[in-house]
Structure 1
Amino acid sequence: MKLAVVGGGSTYTPELIDGFARLRDTLPIEELVLVDPAADRLDLVGGLARRIFAKQDHAGRITTTTDIDAGVADADAVLLQLRVGGQAARNKDETWPLECGCVGQETTGAGGLAKALRTVPVVLDIAERVRRANPDAWIIDFTNPVGIVTRALLQAGHKAVGLCNVAIGFQRKFARLLDVSPSEVHLDHVGLNHLTWELGVRLGGPDGENVLPKLLAEHGDAIADDLHMPRQVIDRLGVVPSYYLRYFYSHDEVVRELGTKPSRAAEVAAMEKELLAMYGDPTLDEKPELLAKRGGAFYSEAAVDLAASLLGNGGSPVQVVNTYNNGTLPFLPDDAVIEVQARVGHDGATPLAVPALDPLYAGLIANVTAYEDLALEAALRGGRDRVFKALLAHPLIGQYEYAEGLTDRLIAHNREHLAWA
């Protein structure tokens, strides 16, 4: 089995490598190719990756290349984890929206749109190369904004499934609080990528006992603290929202907060510099503890599980993924991409049935889906008017004066990445 990781020079990658090494019985990789245009980073990450495999007695071969076509040739699956423009572009995404009084975040609001505009054309080009190399290869997308990128891939006819680590993070957290194995915890996870709610927490399977009320009663303070939301909000909802919902539920508070401290991109850039220095140490043969602060917790477990299921090597039969709606949420079009529990196998992902949603959640999902429609149109076809319409449709913006100012700033800060600008 051959896997390729496009964006393999990311400082995330050792987390992924560690998972491949530990879970080799689930996903028996014979060849792993790390693909990245940054040859210097690739050398550092590739060296550590080989040492991690060697320490854990993994027999697989790890190679590196800056050539996408060579890297994806004959691959059974390709993982996408790229960041067009790097942390410098992310830093802009997190700062210029604040000038208009709007949240600055890399996947939500105006910053998320900027990332989609930079990313979708690049991902579609890579996907075409994958299709030419092996039309049967699966593409697993971890590249943000996952929902929009996955929709672009699916609409272009690619064999693709989107992956996010939010659900597996909740699963692991709830398992610790309940003192059970993570495999016993199943989530009623519903929404769009980075716009989800845990409507239930079930033990033993999708039809098991719902212990969410018990979790909230006994551990509500800890859960609320992790989400940076007031405990009374969680109690009133009776569900656990993704921490990305804070940008919606506490927008103005978050904007004030973000204006008083360095951007997350600046923090990550400093962390990456330190991590890359560590990766260059020839004695380091395991992922460093600092990597846990970089983000992407449990990404490797989720990626291994998904790849194993898609490639017919086992894996969990039910996983949280991003895939076509196909009637699951009846208020959305079939070709909307949703993030829910799905049955996953060699034919792809089929969402499980979802109970009728409270309008509190359904309304926001429908609104953000409409924004994503317009965002994808802007990413595929370009044009200032399309960017403006997408921004105006976003529930965190919604005023033409804000949308005008954000459109000008978005184009000015991303001109080098926009072929039409």
Structure 2
Amino acid sequence: MKLTVVGGGSTYTPELIDGFARLRDTLPIEELVLVDPAAERLELVGGLARRIFAKQGHPGRIVTTADLDAGVDGADAVLLQLRVGGQAAREQDETWPLECGCVGQETTGAGGLAKALRTVPVVLDIAERVRRANPRAWIIDFTNPVGIVTRALLQAGHRAVGLCNVAIGFQRKFAKLLGVAPADVHLAHVGLNHLTWETGVRLGGPEGENALPKLLAEHGEAIADDLHLPRPLLDRLGVVPSYYLRYYYAHDEVVRELRTKPSRAAEVAAMERELLTMYGDPALDEKPALLAKRGGAYYSEAAVDLAAALLGGGGSPYQVVNAFNKGTLPFLPDDAVIEVQAAVGPTGPAPLPVPELDPLFSGLIANVTAYEDLALEAALRGGRDRVFRALLAHPLIGQYAYADALTDQLIAHNREHLAWA
């Protein structure tokens, strides 16, 4: 089996390598190719990756290359984890929206739209080259904004599935609180990427006992603290929202916080410099503890599970993925991309049925889906008016004066990445 990671020079990659090494019986990789144009980073990450495989006795071969076409040639699966513009572009995404009093964040709001506009054309070009190399290859997208990027891939006819680590993070956290194995926790996870709620926590499978009331009653305070939301809100909602719902439920509070501290991009950039220094140590043969602060917890386990299921070698029967709606949420079009539990196998994901949602949740999902429609149109076709329409539709913006100003800012800060600007 050959697996290729595009964006293999990322400081995330040793987390992925560690998972591949530990879970080699689930996903027996013979050749792992790390593709990245940043030669110096790739050399450091590739060296550590080989040492991790060697230490854990993994027999697979690790290849590094800047040549995308060579890297994806013959790959059974291609994992996308790229960041167009790097941390410098992320820094911009997180700062200029604050000038209008809007959340500055890399996956939602105006910053998220900027990232989508930079990313979608690049990903579609990569996907076409993957298809030419092997039409049967699966593309696993971990590149944000995952929902919009996955929809672009699927609408272009690619064999693609979107992946996020939010659900597996909740699964692991809830399993620990309940004193059970993670595999025994089945989340009733529903929504869009970075706009999801856990409406149930089933033990043993989709039809198992719902432990969510017990979790909220006995551990609600701890869960709320992790989400930086008040405990009474969780009790009133009766569900556990993802951390990203804080941008909607406490927008003005978050803006005030963001204006008084360094951006997350600045923190990550500093962390990356330290990590790359560590990766250059020839004695280092395991992922360093600092990597846990970089983000992407349990990413490797989720990626291995999904790749194994898609390639027919195993993996969990049910997994949270981003896939076409296909009637799962009846208030959305079939070609919307939703994030839900699905049965996953070699033919792809099949979303499980979802009970009727409270309008409090379905209304926001519908609103953000409309924004994502417009965002994808802007990413594919360009144009100032399309950018404005997407920003005006976003519930975190919504006012024409803000949308106008943010449109100008977005184009000014991203002109080098926008072929039409």
Determine the C-alpha separation between the residues in 1 that align with 2:314 and 2:245: 33
Deviation at 1:380, TM superposition (A): 0.2
User: What is the rounded CA distance, in whole Å, between the counterparts of 1:107 and 1:376 in structure 2?
Assistant: 14
Quote how far apart the aligned CAs of 1:273 are: 0.2
- Structure 1 counterpart of 2:153: 153
Query: What's the counterpart of residue 26 of structure 1?
Result: 26
Alignment of 1:118-267 (within 5 A): 118-267=118-267
What is the aligned partner in structure 2 of residue 376 from structure 1?
A: 376
**2-structure distance, mates of 1:33, 1:77:** 11
In structure 2, what is the equivalent of residue 309 of structure 1? Answer: 309
Whole-angstrom distance in 2 between the partners of 1:201 and 1:346: 26
* 1:58 maps to amino acid: H
Counterparts of 2:242 and 2:264, CA distance in 1: 18
**Structure 2 counterpart of 1:116, which letter?**
A
Is it true that 1:367 corresponds to 2:339 in the alignment? Answer: no
In the TM superposition, what whole-angstrom CA distance separates every residue of 1:218-269 from its partner, at most 9, and x where no partner exists? 0011000000000110111110000000000000000000000000000000
How far is the alpha carbon of 1:3 from its aligned partner? 0.2
Distance between the aligned counterparts of 2:231 and 2:158, measured in 1?
Answer: 42
Aligned mates of 2:160, 2:136 — CA distance in 1? 11
Deviation of 1:114 (Å): 0.1
Aligned residue in 2 for 1:399: 399
Deviations 1:19-56 (CA, angstroms, capped at 9, x unpaired): 00000000000000000010000000000000000000
Structure 1 residues 349-380: Cα deviation after superposition (integer angstroms, max 9, x where no partner): 00000000000000000000000000000000
The amino acid that maps onto 1:149 is V
Whole-angstrom CA distance in 2 between matches of 1:128 and 1:41:
26
Instruction: Provide structure 1 residue ranges, at least 5 long, that are not aligned to the other structure.
Output: none
Between the aligned partners of 2:305 and 2:213, the Cα distance in structure 1 is 28
Q: Distance between the aligned counterparts of 1:247 and 1:58, measured in 2?
A: 42
| Count of residue pairs the alignment pairs up | 421
SS at match of 2:122: helix
Counterpart of 1:280 in structure 2 is: 280
Aligned partner of 1:77 in structure 2 is 77
Q: Residue 342 of structure 1 aligns with which residue?
A: 342
SS state of the match for residue 3, structure 1? strand
**Which deviations, in whole Å up to 9, do the C-alpha atoms of 1:123-171 show, x marking residues without a partner?**
0000000000000000000000000000000000000000000000000
| Cα distance in 2, alignment partners of residues 36 and 376 from structure 1 | 25
Q: Which amino acid is 2:348 matched to?
A: G
Residues in 2 aligned to 1:205 and 1:344: alpha-carbon distance in whole angstroms: 14
In structure 1, C-alpha distance between the alignment counterparts of 2:191 and 2:37, rounded to whole Å:
34
Matched residue of 2:343: which SS?
strand
How far apart, CA to CA, are the structure 2 residues paired with 1:281 and 1:162? 34
* Structure 2 counterpart SS, 1:153: helix
1:109-124 matched pairs, under 5 angstroms: 109-124=109-124
> Partner letter of residue 31 of structure 2?
E
Equivalent residue, structure 2, for 1:65: 65
Q: Shift of the alpha carbon at 1:188?
A: 0.3
**Residues in 1 aligned to 2:392 and 2:67: alpha-carbon distance in whole angstroms:** 39
Aligned equivalents of 1:325, 1:118: Cα separation in 2 = 25
Report the AA paired with residue 393 of structure 2: A
Partner of 1:93: 93
Aligned match of 2:56: 56
When the two chains are superposed, the root-mean-square deviation of aligned CA atoms in Å is 0.3
TM-score when normalising by structure 2: 1.00
Partner of 1:331: 331
- Which residue type is aligned with residue 111 of structure 2? G
Cα separation, 1, equivalents of 2:161 and 2:317:
15
| 1:296 alignment partner, SS class | coil
In structure 1, how many angstroms separate the alpha carbons of the residues matched to 2:37 and 2:381?
Answer: 26
Counterpart of 2:16?
Answer: 16
Matched position secondary structure for 2:34: strand
Percent identity between matched residues is 87
Q: Which amino acid aligns with 2:59?
A: A
Whole-Å Cα distance in 2 between the matches of residues 346 and 306 of structure 1?
A: 10
After TM superposition, the structure 1 = structure 2 runs for residues 103-114 of structure 1, keeping only pairs within 5 Å, are 103-114=103-114
Structure 2 unaligned regions, length at least 5: none
